Amino acid sequence: MEYPDALLIIRHNIYILRLEKRWSQEKLAFAADIFRSYTGSIERGETGPNTFVYFKIVKALEVNLETIMKGT
């Protein structure tokens, strides 16, 4: 597996978890205290943020880092 592939899997995992909560990207960004544009670029797989941003996202989604890395 190459890095872009891992990013796509992570973003898909975040996308599914967000939909399960019926949240918009804005709602996730607000809950995770990150910029709205950032959730979009993460979900499009354009950026691989640092651990702290992923940590804020998983905390907002009430899962752990392991969950969003599943399948990488």
Token pair belonging to 17: 């978890």
| DSSP-based three-state secondary structure for 62 | coil
Residues that bind a copy of itself (CB under 8 A): 1, 3, 6-7, 10, 48-52, 54-55, 64-66, 69-72
**Nearest distance from residue 51's CB to a copy of itself, in Å?**
4
CA distance 28 to 56: 10
| Terminal C-alpha separation, the chain | 8
Q: Closer CB to a copy of itself, residue 38 or residue 54?
A: 54
**Nearest distance from residue 42's CB to a copy of itself, in Å?**
10
